[in-house]
Amino acid sequence: MKYFLIIVSLLAGHYSKADIVNLGVYGALFEIKEEDIQQVILNKLHKLQESGEIEQHHQKIAERVRKKMNSPRIIEGIKPTTKERSFIYDPTLVVKKDINLPDGRLLHKKGKRVNPFDHMDLGQTLLFLDGDSEEQVTWAESFKGITKWILVKGKPFEVEKKQGHPIYFDQFGKITKQLGIQQYPAFVRQEGKVLRIKEVKLDEKQGEENEI
């Protein structure tokens, strides 16, 4: 250890600035240049496009979306009807704050009660049903043309192809939750300024004339 410290001290103090010699430059010199990040990305995308990887990626995304749309997530908190129920849903809203038009004019004053049916109609009766249930689909066929089908289960694209008319799906159960529907199949029709909702039990309808 003693000899090591002596050697270190000699190396550290033996040379002064006057002893430092410029040995010159050896080897080739290259300019330091940072590549444009945008160009790097464009080059990478161009290579991916040429190799077909971008198209493959697009196809995979499209396939995932198609599968998800054709097999939507099952709605929780809703079940087949075990006991029929009929009730009213009032869509009237109370304005929580003044609502102004873009030009500043007052549209609705805070506290005002607003009902959408003052300005529009529901149109067709809505029919919520299970698209995976052959029994419910067969039963619902007698209401073709006078109802708009909204699935709570099933594959909407497949049902639409078989039935030959537009089929909708209650994504995430937003409509059924908003209206308070807990069982299916269920009809929703307009009665004046409110909605009449009727949850139907099919085995109680066997042999009876179909009615909404």
- 22-73 pLDDT, tens digit per residue, is 555 555 665 666 667 777 788 887 887 788 776 766 666 666 666 656 667 7
3-state helix, strand, coil in the chain (%, to 5): 40, 20, 40
Dihedral of the alpha carbons of 152, 157, 161, 162, in degrees to the nearest 10: -40
Indicate the pLDDT class of residue 125, thresholds 50, 70 and 90: very high
Compute the distance between CA of residue 134 and CA of residue 112 in angstroms, rounded to an integer: 46
Chain center to CA of 171? 8
What's the pLDDT at 188?
98
The mean pLDDT of 73-101, rounded to a whole number, is 92
Mean pLDDT rounded to a whole number for the chain: 81
**Three-state SS for 75?**
coil
The pLDDT tens digits of the residues spanning 130-172 come to 999 999 999 999 998 899 999 999 999 999 999 999 999 999 9
| 125-130 sheet: strands from edge to edge | 85-89, 194-199, 186-191, 125-130, 147-153, 168-169
* Distance of alpha carbon 167 from alpha carbon 2, whole angstroms: 91
207 dihedral zone (left: phi>0; alpha: psi -120 to 50; beta): left
Q: Which residue, among 122, 123, 93, 120, has the nearest Cα to 108 in the 3D structure?
A: 93
Q: What is the pTM of this model?
A: 0.65
pLDDT in the model for residue 3: 45
Helix (H) or strand (E) holding 62: helix 53-70
